[in-house]
Amino acid sequence: MKIFEYMGKYDYEQLLFCQDEQSGLKAIIAIHDTTLGPALGGTRMWTYASEDAAIEDALRLARGMTYKNAAAGLNLGGGKTVIIGDPRKDKNEEMFRAFGRFIQGLNGRYITAEDVGTTVADMDLIHEETNFVTGISPAFGSSGNPSPVTAYGCYVGMKAAANEAFGTDSLEGLTVSVQGVGNVAFELCRYLHEEGAKLIVTDINKEAVQRAVEQFGAEAVDPNDIYGVNSDIFAPCALGAIINDETIPQLKAKVIAGSANNQLKETRHGDQIHKMGIVYAPDYVINAGGVINVADELYGYNPERAMKKVEGIYNNVAKVIEISKRDGIPTYVAADRMAEERIAKVSKSRSQFLLNNRHILSYRA
């Protein structure tokens, strides 16, 4: 992998390699853009096939966080960490404390949180060495389990998408097909059930499906059948790349709005559903509730304030749809444009400030 070529192509700021021989730590921190503020993004632990694969994943995820944080209206940039190792057997206290010291050495340029393969307990260990970590235990003044908040953000974002497709943001009487009934999706189902929506659910975990059937009166279908059911809204809340050549012809829903990451297998699939008239709520816009929630910890966590910010996902999805219609582009492109426009405005404002005050800065130097 030609690292500098890749970084230059997508304008990354920094890539750091961290290792600690005693604990076995091998971590890669990628910082994509800090125009809006310090980079915030989680720490993922995974058994990568190669070091190049780990580097590429860190870079790709960091760039995604820049767009996610910008679109969410946060004053934060994008970053991400990957730790190379098996989260089931390679973890130890020394590893995460050593990693915390590396984060501390960045002096606030990067703030981490939990991600795939890491837990609140791991974040607590990092917190022993640095304050630049979120998603720690509530005993330390943190927000705790982010799933209900992420679910609420998806719920309000779904209502914004429904308003475009059906002329009302009421979900009462609509049928929502939900793929995956994990922690976030189960809470999303609760919100939908309370509003009077009919639920069709699927998951490879049969116990999770049965729980949704019993508590919300949901109809259960086989995982392979979820794409073709008669529903008004399809909510992907499990796998990525599920909007693809095989699934698109089966879709009957007028709205796609769910919590799963990277729902489009390829960008052309976003173009295809746009041409079909399906209203797509881009994943990183609608599922931003979790990052909005943990970002509030940076101000001293206040649950009421955090939920108020998460309610803004409704307006964010609505704005994406507005840009889509204004510019005649698919919503996945509109979401990128919204994020890029915000970053560009702040960057321009900062440059103008420096230009206007160059005499003061020169004097201080």
Q: Is 181 annotated as a binding residue?
A: yes
Distance separating alpha carbons of residues 345 and 363, to the nearest angstrom: 27
Active-site residues: which are they?
80
The one-letter code for the residue type at 351 is S
Q: 317 a known binding residue? A: no
Q: Check the annotation: does 184 bind a ligand.
A: yes
Q: Which residues, at least 6 apart from 309, have a Cβ–Cβ distance to it below 8 Å?
A: 73, 292, 296
Residue 182 marked ligand-binding: yes
Residue 180 marked ligand-binding: yes
Binding site members for NAD(+): 180-185
Binding site members: 180-185
